[in-house]
Amino acid sequence: MPPHLLLTYDFPPIGGGIARWMAELAKRYPAGSLVVSTGQSSNASEIDAGFPNRVDRVAIPARRLRTIQGILLWSRRVAVLARSTGAEFIWCGNLKPAAYPAKWTMERTGVPFGILLHGGDLLILQHQIHQSAMKRKTAAALLGSAAVLVANSEWTRDRCLTVLSDLEVEVPADRVRVVPLGADPGFFRPGIDTGDVHRRYGLASGRWMLSVARLTRHKGIDTALKALAQLRSRYPDLRYAVVGSGEEQAALEAEARELGVADRVRFLTEVPDGDLPALYNCAELYLGVSRLMEQRVEGFGISLTEASACGVPVIAGRSGGIPAAVRDGETGLLVDAERVEAVVEAVSRLLNDAALRARLGGAGRRAVESHYNWNRVTADLRRIGHELGAPAREAAGR
């Protein structure tokens, strides 16, 4: 079968959920069936060598792929890759900038492309198209040219349909599809020894709550800190570990001090992926109380499924695409993330009920094993790419 191309701005060693998703595809597509096209990053050669599929890096830093010069250079390179590999289909890891070289290449080689949508990107786009006629025209051209638009949740799909309606772009119903994301149940699993990470990260004895997130306001870390402050007298040994970094780190650390809980909170930055499974296993419960804020939202929530894969019960915000990752009352508890009292109540409920924690954590683990995993995600995307790419190849006589 001819290979697929994956064009992505986000790819290791760049961090974040999108980069992790792209890396999982590069890892799980059968060897030789995918070519990843991305930008240059320091120390990339060692990382690239670990994938069974080729990683072709454009000769500019990844951050410059968003510039006009970068898009032109990337477009020419992708067209060369499409011709030289006989590519069947092109996946765009994001709308901008990846859809620009994909559309360029489709117009010159006939290889169709699909765009992976994440949620927050659509909120930003929806704002932009009402502010700029040029961005409206560009968005309509990119989305309208795609053979398929793949959303990570029903919420993201609905937002995509709204954007298409705003743009007056008509597409068949099956052109916007949903592929929920997942975790690696072999890497993220229960029963991992936590002694080493307890020592290295200074995690004192006690009952730990955990969040793994980029430190931006919509992630709800501030809400979790307020909940901890209200719970401290009731649970003297309750502590909170936050894994991640971001522009809100200093403000959140200051907030922890103001709330009088700084001694119970550990902000852990620059944590390598290899430490994450053990850190999840340190937690009695996972907090993912993200909320919809302006142009930021959780379109799915990969860290929620990682926690579930480790058998950790999840408390998550009932916003965006989170209900696709957490089944309320089955694999976790959904709460109104705008209300600290709702988070306090959910945390108390889990801390007081070991049987409930075990039931939710066990169900979360089984859900990842059976459906919310990267093998299924990769199979879904391979099937869609072949379904849409094969007829195009036949029509073009390739």
pLDDT given for residue 293 in this prediction: 84
Kindly list the distances between the CA atom of residue 41 and the CA atoms of 25, 26, 56, 70, 97, in Å, as whole numbers in the listed order: 19, 17, 12, 14, 17
pLDDT at 152 over 90: yes
pLDDT confidence band for 192 (50 / 70 / 90): very high
Q: What is the pLDDT of residues 230-245, one digit of tens each?
A: 999 999 999 999 999 9
Name the pLDDT band for 390 (thresholds 50, 70, 90).
confident
Higher pLDDT pick, 12 / 393: 12
* Residue 173: per-residue pLDDT: 83
Answer whether 4-181+373-396 and 195-370 agree in fold: yes
Quote the CA–CA distance of 89 and 148 in Å, as a whole number. Answer: 11
Q: What are the tokens at 79?
A: 């067209």
Residue 161 has pLDDT above 90, yes or no: yes
Alpha carbon distance 367, 376 (integer Å): 12
The rounded distance, in Å, linking the Cα atoms of 280 and 303 is 10
Delimit the domains of the chain by residue range.
Answer: 4-181+373-396, 195-370
Whether 398 has a pLDDT exceeding 70, the answer reads no
Weakest mean pLDDT among 13-17, 144-148, 187-191, 204-208: 13-17
Write the pLDDT tens digit of every residue in 337-346. 999 999 999 9
Encode 208-238: b = buried (16+ Cβ within 10 Å), e = exposed.
bbbbbbbbbbbbbbbbbbbbbbbbbeebeeb
Structure tokens at 127: 């704002």
Average pLDDT over residues 129-138: 93
Whether the pLDDT of residue 301 is over 90: the answer is yes
Asked if residue 272 has a cis previous peptide bond (ω within 30° of 0), the answer is: no
Which residues, including other chains, have CB under 8 Å from residue 278's CB and lie 6 or more apart?
Answer: 192, 193, 194, 196, 197
Residue 121 has a pLDDT of 92
pLDDT number for residue 125: 94
Average pLDDT on 304-322 reads 97
- Confidence at residue 397, expressed as pLDDT on a 0 to 100 scale: 64
Instruction: Give the per-residue pLDDT at 227.
Output: 98
- Is domain 195-370 in CATH 3.20.20.60, yes or no? no
| Residue 15 vs residue 371, higher pLDDT | 371
CB atoms within 10 A of CB 77: 19
Mean pLDDT, rounded, for 290-313: 92
Mean pLDDT, the chain, whole residue set: 95
Bond preceding residue 61 cis, omega within 30 of 0? no
pLDDT band for position 306 (cuts 50, 70, 90): very high
CA distance 74 to 80: 10
Alpha helices in the chain (DSSP H): 17-28, 44-48, 68-85, 99-109, 120-129, 133-145, 154-167, 195-200, 221-231, 249-258, 276-282, 302-309, 322-325, 340-351, 354-370, 374-396
Measure Cα distances from 279 to 82, 94, 237, 273 in Å: 41, 29, 18, 10
pLDDT, mean of residues 171-192:
95
Q: Judging by beta carbons within 10 Å of its beta carbon (0-12, 13-18, 19+), is residue 289 exposed, middle or buried? A: buried
d(CA 292, CA 278): 30
Q: For 107-122, how does the pLDDT look when each residue is reduced to its tens digit (9 = 90+)?
A: 999 999 999 999 999 9
CB 224 within 8 A of CB 261: no
DSSP track, 60-98: EEGGGGGSHHHHHHHHHHHHHHHHHHT-SEEEESSSTTT
The per-residue pLDDT for range 349-375, each reduced to its tens digit, is 999 999 999 999 999 999 999 999 999
Q: How far apart are CA 252 and CA 262, in angstroms?
A: 10
Superfamily (CATH) of domain 4-181+373-396: Glycogen Phosphorylase B; (3.40.50.2000)
Q: What whole-number distance in Å separates Cα of residue 391 and Cα of residue 387?
A: 7
